[in-house]
Amino acid sequence: MTLAPDALPARRPLPRRAALLLAHALLALPVTVLAVVLAVTGNASGAGRLQRRLAVLGGPDTSSASAALTPAPDRFRTVVGRAFRGLPANALAFALAAPSTILLLTRGLLYPLATAGEDPAHAWGGPTAAGAWAAHFAIALAMVAVVAALLAATRRPHRW
């Protein structure tokens, strides 16, 4: 049995999916903390909306089981329960994504600024500054690809 092309879920290009996973990982822990603060201050509905927005950041869940469920009412207990259930995965995702993003920016994109005035002759990709930058950028991109694969695994149980 084959499905019509329009019945298949749309796949995003890999770089965009990786960027969305990285954004989700960087935002998940702060959003979880903010949701708990909002719930404690009496804005459980706003906290619930924030949690649902975070849950669909990487793309809608295409399973039929989650499409049939209506969202639980946004009460204090529901919001805090979701926050604490997602806290271990969010902390792990943040711990993976934050250092890799910092290294991608400082040692990848901004490598010439990070090493201004230093001799690139002994750097990876040296003896020219362009070769050193290209080598560091390629290593940073490979690291981000590995982190994106790990983030896909940490995000999977987070959907509710």
pLDDT reported for residue 1? 45
Q: Where are the domains of the chain?
A: 15-60+74-116+123-155
pTM: 0.64
Q: Quote the CA–CA distance of 148 and 73 in Å, as a whole number.
A: 32
Q: Which residue has the tokens 């290209």?
A: 134
pLDDT reported for residue 160? 44
pLDDT, one tens digit per residue, over 76-97 is 888 888 888 888 888 888 888 8
pLDDT, one tens digit per residue, over 33-53 is 888 888 888 888 888 888 788
pLDDT above 50 for 68: no
Share of the chain above pLDDT 70, in %: 69
Indicate the average pLDDT of the chain.
73
The model's confidence at residue 64, banded by pLDDT at 50, 70 and 90, is very low
Selection from 39, 151, 156, 37 nearest residue 99 by Cα: 151
pLDDT above 50 for 131: yes
At position 116, the amino acid (one-letter code) is A
Selection from 86, 103, 104 nearest residue 28 by Cα: 86
Choose the weakest-confidence range: 38-47, 100-109, 119-128, 145-154: 119-128
